[in-house]
């Protein structure tokens, strides 16, 4: 890349002497952009390539040795069955959190949107869990789910016989999912509230004059207008499910017997806890595939919405 320094050619203003600057106009954009690109290269692009390399190596960070092991990491990851288990657990977690938090978040948003007074108070109340430090609140939830003496066992446990959630392989994931919903509902509600602000008022009014019931007004006017908000909320909740870590790490540590071991938690356990960098790289590739899948689905869904909108 050759950079020619010729200020005068760009700025032909002969009446006034040009101020001397040590940075030419040609060079300026590169000075502004290159720090960003270098850092993205180091912390995003190079790691992306490095992951693929790491999959085929046995790396000892402390000794600084790299040993090529071919596809052994991948074979071991499949052989242990933990990847398949974590994919299933992650999908189950998504099924337990995405639909529920979307329906409840939409109901909260519709409620708040329909209020004459006090809407901002409820909005703050429902948003509070989103703003709170999740790992600290997980400590609180862990205590609420405490066997026998905790609030959940004292109430739900006595009424329905579901006790000791965090040490049960059937109930540990639902317990974490309850916290996930608790945190996600306010977020979804905010997305839907923004969507509701954009619902055409004149259409609602016209439907009302035509005598359409509240349900009909919702189904034929409000819901179609909320399309983009729905896609958005669905993708965010799914990505959130893919990223879930804090609650798992503090409440169940993936257990019992891997029953709540999501992909992100497995990533940490392999790479950091077992110090198995190659194994961690294999999990990373699976996680990346899911992340790209989510992005692809979002792109497709938004495109379909756009086409539907332009009909």
Question: Residue 236 contacts by C-beta under 8 Å, 6 or more apart in sequence?
Answer: 187, 188, 191
Distance CA 202, CA 249 (A): 49
Give me the least distance between CB of 88 and other proteins, in Å please: 19
Cα–Cα dist 286/155, whole Å: 40
Instruction: Check if the beta carbon of residue 258 is closer than 8 Å to that of residue 85.
Output: yes
Residues 42-71 that bind other proteins (CB under 8 A): 42-48, 50-51, 54, 59, 61
Nearer Cβ to other proteins (47/198): 47
| Interface with other proteins, residue 190, by CB under 8 A | yes
In degrees to the nearest 10, what's the CA dihedral of 53, 59, 62, 64? -70
Length reported for the chain: 311
User: Which residues, 6+ apart, have CB-to-CB distance to 85 below 8 Å?
Assistant: 258, 261
Q: Which is nearer to other proteins, 172 or 264 (CB)?
A: 264
Taking the least distance from each CB to other proteins, the nearer of 62 and 311 is: 62
Query: For residues 264-283, which are near other proteins according to CB under 8 A?
Result: 264, 267-268, 271-272, 277, 280-281
Q: Which residues in the 127-156 window bind other proteins by CB under 8 A?
A: 127-137, 139-141, 143-144, 146, 149, 151, 154
Closest contact distance (angstroms) between CB of 295 and other proteins is 5
Residue from 5, 37, 95, 308 in contact with other proteins (CB under 8 A): 37
Touching other proteins, residues 202-261 (CB under 8 A): 204-205, 217, 222, 232, 235-236, 239, 242-243, 245-246, 249-250
> Residue from 5, 11, 88, 293 that binds other proteins (CB under 8 A)?
11
Q: Is 187 in the site for other proteins (CB under 8 A)?
A: yes
Among 89, 102, 108, 175, binds other proteins (CB under 8 A): 108
Q: Residue 54 or residue 77: which is nearer to other proteins going by CB?
A: 54
Lookup: tokens for 291 = 């992340």
Q: Is 284 in the site for other proteins (CB under 8 A)?
A: yes
Q: Sign of the C-alpha dihedral, residues 31, 34, 36, 42? A: negative
Query: Residue 311 and residue 229: Cα distance in Å, rounded?
Result: 19
Q: Pick from 77, 171, 241, 294 the residue near other proteins by CB under 8 A.
A: 294
Work out the angle between the directed axes of helices 82-113 and 172-197 (0-180°, nearest 10). 40
Q: Which two tokens stand for residue 310?
A: 């332009």
The residues, ordered by sequence, that sit 6+ positions from 119 with a Cβ below 8 Å of its Cβ are 112, 113
Q: How many residues of this chain bind other proteins (CB under 8 A)?
A: 107
Is 14 an interacting residue with respect to other proteins (CB under 8 A)?
A: no
Cis status of the peptide bond prior to 256, with omega within 30 of 0 = yes
44 versus 311: smaller Cβ distance to other proteins:
44
């Amino acid at each position: 890349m050759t950079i020619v320094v010729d200020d005068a050619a760009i700025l032909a203003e002969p009446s006034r002497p040009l101020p001397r600057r040590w940075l030419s106009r040609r060079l300026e954009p590169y000075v502004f952009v290159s720090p960003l690109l270098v850092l993205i290269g180091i912390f995003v692009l190079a790691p992306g390539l490095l992951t693929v390399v790491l999959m085929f190596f046995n790396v000892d960070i402390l000794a600084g040795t790299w040993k090529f092991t071919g596809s052994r990491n991948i074979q071991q990851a499949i052989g242990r069955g933990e990847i398949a288990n974590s994919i299933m657990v992650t999908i189950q977690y998504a099924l337990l959190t995405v639909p529920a938090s979307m329906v409840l978040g939409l109901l909260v948003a519709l409620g708040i949107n329909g209020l004459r007074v006090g809407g901002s108070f409820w909005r703050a109340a429902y948003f509070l869990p989103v703003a709170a430090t999740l790992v600290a609140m997980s400590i609180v939830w862990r205590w609420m789910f405490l066997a026998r003496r905790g609030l959940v066992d004292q109430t739900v446990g006595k009424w329905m016989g579901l006790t000791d959630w965090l040490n049960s392989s059937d109930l540990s994931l639902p317990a974490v999912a309850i916290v996930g919903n608790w945190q996600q509902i306010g977020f979804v509600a905010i997305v839907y509230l923004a969507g509701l602000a954009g619902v055409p008022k004149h259409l609602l009014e016209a439907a009302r004059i035509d005598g359409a019931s509240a349900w009909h007004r919702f189904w034929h006017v409000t819901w179609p207008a909320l399309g983009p908000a729905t896609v958005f909320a669905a993708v965010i909740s799914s990505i959130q499910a893919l990223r879930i870590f804090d609650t798992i790490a503090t409440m169940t540590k993936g257990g019992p017997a891997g029953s709540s071991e999501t992909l992100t938690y497995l990533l940490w356990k392999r790479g950091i806890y077992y110090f198995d960098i190659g194994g961690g790289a294999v999990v990373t590739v699976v996680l990346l595939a899911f992340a790209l899948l989510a992005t692809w689905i979002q792109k497709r869904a938004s495109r379909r919405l756009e086409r539907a909108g332009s009909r």
